[in-house]
Structure 1
């Protein structure tokens, strides 16, 4: 049986929303909600990887597991690898669960794990059909195009593909667009190798770390989800999250 560990990178500093992991969402902090959702998936352990003592202490207080990582890591991927090394364990798969996705579904994590039944899977992530023009043209929701094996060919903050023969307002009628959901799983050896790569030209252009992996020849398998996610990046996102909890009667 596949052994998998979930690691949640959580930084205190945020330009638009300082202290983001500790924000209250209906009586629970955001990071507590992420941990609670992840614990329902097929993971042997769920660990928060943080650079801040306040987050560490908070997670330990609500009964979670956490490790303190370097404050100088350039990405969540590096923070996940740091935490994995500190834990001193061996797993078949490491899942990088975003610390600002309090409504991530356990089924979405399990869907990623299923892709590792194939021994050739190096990295896995999720995609979701685009259903509105707002999604299609939002630079905050990266889009992805796939090959016939459902592996990522390219990610972009612009809609992909460009449809030369159609006006932009008709694009959704003529192509099934996919957006990227930022949940990743890796073989541990691949995760280690990814942290050794230097930033690439495409990554710097789009500000999308996964393009570095593609440029260096790594294959990213994808699975499709119909579940919506709501990442928390701004004060407006916090309001939307609390509204969602009210509508779902979770407050």
Structure 2
């Protein structure tokens, strides 16, 4: 396996937090904070795939690489695919890692954990999850559950993803975290597939891969990275960074 190409998709439009990628977090735009954590993961070059020149300028002002993508993509996967084909048309990197642009405090080891499952050539996509420890989140549909079976000490094979509380019975529940390491061939196939029935029903794009027979393995990490979607989230992120 060669190194991964890490792509961070960033859209300027956000209903709950306007201009979210440019939100200041202790002197730097949020997208730059994510870029720095991706670099610290040290699994390959990092680019930001954006839909507005202001995001590109912010990234370049801090020494990063940004590429403009179409504004009409229906999914983040399509934006990632366009960016990867643009910067690496020859497929030098056989893995493309999709890192969301709203996780400014994500640990580098969490990013690397999504990359780890691809050491098995049978795996198409690697991702991450963490155990849900707070009772109030077990039934929260915004906490996407990964239904998995263990194949190693901290690596699992995904059987399903759902907003429901699953599986039933005694035992842990796992929250899926949307960081994806696509084998390049898997990404090329994925973007050609039509939205699948369960994907549409659950509103979870990763189900398209499972419904089409693709294998997703999941690394278990200790804690979920804080994502920033609201002004209140932004204040928490600022306070957390200041406390470091």
Question: TM-score, normalising length from structure 2?
Answer: 0.93
Distance in 2 between the 1:67 and 1:162 partners?
44
Distance in 1 between the 2:114 and 2:208 partners?
21
C-alpha deviation, 1:134, in angstroms? 2.4
The partner residue of 1:154 within 157, 160, 163 is 160
The partner residue of 2:110 within 108, 111, 115 is 108
Structure 2 residue 83 is the aligned partner of structure 1 residue 83: yes
Find the counterpart in structure 1 of residue 52 from structure 2: 52
- Structure 1 residue matching 2:142: 3-state secondary structure: coil
- Say whether the 8 Å CA contact 1:4–1:42 is kept in structure 2: no
Find the counterpart in structure 1 of residue 40 from structure 2: 40
Describe how 1:22-37 pairs up with structure 2 within 5 A: 22-37=22-37
Post-superposition Cα deviations, 1:67-126, rounded to whole Å, max 9, x if no partner, equal 000111111111111000000351121110010011111111222222222111210100
- Structure 2 residue matching 1:66: 3-state secondary structure: strand
The number of aligned residues is 238
Distance in 1 between the 2:211 and 2:229 partners?
28
Find the counterpart in structure 2 of residue 235 from structure 1: 231
- Structure 1 residue matching 2:138: 3-state secondary structure: helix
Find the counterpart in structure 1 of residue 132 from structure 2: 130
Computed over aligned residues only, the root mean square deviation of the Cα atoms, in angstroms, reads 1.4
Post-superposition Cα deviations, 1:136-156, rounded to whole Å, max 9, x if no partner, equal 122222111112432111111
The partner residue of 2:186 within 187, 190, 210 is 190
- Say whether the 8 Å CA contact 1:56–1:68 is kept in structure 2: yes
The partner residue of 1:218 within 214, 217, 220 is 214
Distance in 1 between the 2:197 and 2:93 partners?
32
Question: TM-score, normalising length from structure 1?
Answer: 0.90
Distance in 2 between the 1:216 and 1:228 partners?
28
Find the counterpart in structure 2 of residue 145 from structure 1: 147
- Structure 2 residue matching 1:55: 3-state secondary structure: helix
C-alpha deviation, 1:127, in angstroms? 1.0
Describe how 1:10-29 pairs up with structure 2 within 5 A: 10-29=10-29
